[in-house]
Amino acid sequence: MNKRINFEDTLFILNIRIRMIRDLLQLDTESNLFFRQTTADLEFITLIMDMLAEKYIENIKILDREAEADNILDTEWQFCQLLNEISGNSSPFSPSFYPELTVLIDKLRTDSEKRKKQIEDSYIPSEQSNNEPVVSHAELNGLLGNVS
């Protein structure tokens, strides 16, 4: 499973899932029918965000690293907004009816904050990354075959 992750497409799908849950919160549905699936979806989103953050932090040679960080952090923000909406009083998943949800939401928020901090800490501003040569002199000589 060491396959290259397509950050853009993965984040697109996660954002759709976040919007789907947000839409569910707006509808007048029987919340107990959707509770287990919604909590599973929240845990799934967290799992995938963990994987994306890990891959981002591991690979400092990601093309357009700055944009990828922004996209990941934007999805984290969307996810946190969703968590706030779920834990709000107007949510169909009210903590008074689903007390276990409070514990889950707190854990998911903590995980999200941890990921955000990791990404921000591993972020290299473009002015710092441009100071390093793309190809060292030794590599250039090796590629060109020591032409003198």
Integer angstrom CA distances of residue 8 from 28, 114, 131? 32, 21, 27
pTM summary value: 0.78
Range in 1-10, 41-50, 67-76 with the lowest mean pLDDT: 1-10
pLDDT of residue 39: 95
Secondary element (H or E) of residue 18: helix 7-26
pLDDT of residue 59: 84
Query: How do residues 77-122 score in pLDDT, each as one tens digit?
Result: 999 999 999 988 778 888 778 889 999 999 999 999 999 999 998 8
pLDDT of residue 72: 95
Q: Phi-psi bin for 28: left (phi > 0), alpha (psi -120 to 50), beta?
A: beta
